[in-house]
Structure 1
């Protein structure tokens, strides 16, 4: 996939995700939350330019640093989402200002890593961003779903006693 197409796909997914996260929505914990990250990750991993073969070690280190950063930021993002149970028992979620700050932080980290790579003359394909986005979306969904299931624990404990 060309770099331009990767950037367009990444931008479209980011706009869609952020827009959806900033409005209240019913959370379906049985939904296949892993499907979009899986598809994005598979597309990214199929790119032969994921690692710059002229600077393999530095490129791999930057990729690893980026993945560690998105693991952390995906977790932070998942914890910034406000969750609540409605009167009908449904769990709802809505992003907060801290959610926006998490996105801004991730973009700043990503730009910093890109700057380091550019200074070291490492080619960084758009698939690196796509893989990072996939990992971040998956981690965020795992954290939010775990937190949503934790809302059920007091109710489940009462049933067991």
Structure 2
């Protein structure tokens, strides 16, 4: 995919994900939360320009640093989501101000890594951003789903005869 198409996909995913995160939503821990990250990751890894072949070492190091960063940010993001059970026992989730701060931090770190790459004259593909988004979404979902499973079970009501 072209760089513009990659950035468009990333922008759409960010808008959809942030919008959904800031609303109360029923969390289904059985759904295929890994599907969107898998699709984004596959699209990103198809790009032969994900590594700058003129600066292979630096490019790979920047990509690795970006992936380690999004692993951490995905974990942080997963812990900032508020989880609770409703009266029916369903798990509800909603992003918080800390969730928005995590997004801001992730964007600042990505801009910093891009700036370092630019200063070192390393070409950086939009596919590396897409791969980072895939990893971050996957880690965030893993953390939120794990936290949801750790919540106290829904209270049961006794049936009186």
**Which structure 2 residues correspond to residues 1-161 of structure 1 after superposition, within 5 A?**
1-152=1-152
Q: Distance in 1 between matches of 2:3 and 2:55?
A: 19
1:158 maps to which residue? none
Q: Distance in 1 between matches of 2:70 and 2:28?
A: 24
Q: Distance in 2 between matches of 1:112 and 1:70?
A: 13
SS at match of 2:87: coil
SS at match of 2:51: coil
SS at match of 1:110: helix
Which 4+ residue blocks in structure 1 deviate beyond 4 angstroms? Answer: 152-155
Structure 2: which 5+ runs fail to align?
156-161
Deviation at 1:152, TM superposition (A): 4.3
**TM-score when normalising by structure 1:** 0.94
Deviation at 1:154, TM superposition (A): 8.7
**TM-score when normalising by structure 2:** 0.94
**How many pairs are equivalent?**
155
